[in-house]
């Protein structure tokens, strides 16, 4: 099965990003394809390289970057939501790219299922 993923919450304010990350990992292990992960609303905060969590906490941004690198996953950040939150190409973490809502629509069309994490 081919999945599109949408994440609407930031990495440290809600469980949505962690749950989505675990879902994507499990889907890959089961042989499913991840068409795209789209970060929207506060979910764009998962994509900033300026995040510096304490040493004893998980680095959600780095986890997403590593997953994208290892599995070739397309991590797309909504341009309007990102710019509103001060995220641009200069502070975007590795593996993420900025684009528009058309990428979310395309994921919904191309994937068998679009799974949304967060409000």
pLDDT one-digit tens code per residue, 4-23: 999 999 998 889 999 999 99
The model carries a pTM of 0.96
Q: Which residue has the higher pLDDT, 51 or 97?
A: 97
Average pLDDT over residues 57-64: 93
Joined together, the tokens standing for residue 30 give 């089961």
What average pLDDT does the chain have? 96
> Are 8 and 78 spatial neighbours (Cβ–Cβ below 8 Å)?
no
78 is a catalytic site residue: yes
pLDDT in tens, 70-85: 999 999 999 999 999 9
Q: Which domains does the chain have, with CATH numbers?
A: 2-117 (3.40.1260.10)
The residues with which 91 forms a beta bridge, in sequence order, are none
Instruction: Give me the catalytic one of 78, 87, 92, 104.
Output: 78
| Four-CA torsion 57, 60, 65, 71, nearest 10 degrees | 100
């Amino acid at each position: 099965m081919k999945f599109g993923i949408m994440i609407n919450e930031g990495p440290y304010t809600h469980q949505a990003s962690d749950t989505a990350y675990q879902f994507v990992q499990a889907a890959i292990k089961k042989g499913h394809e991840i068409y795209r992960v789209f970060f929207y609303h506060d979910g764009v905060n998962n994509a900033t390289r300026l995040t510096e969590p304490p040493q004893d906490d998980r680095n959600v941004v780095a986890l997403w970057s590593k997953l994208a690198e290892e599995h070739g996953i397309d991590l797309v950040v909504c341009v309007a939501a990102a710019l509103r939150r001060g995220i641009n190409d200069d502070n975007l973490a590795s593996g993420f790219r900025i684009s528009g809502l058309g990428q979310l629509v395309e994921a919904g069309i191309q994937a068998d299922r679009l799974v949304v994490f967060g409000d």
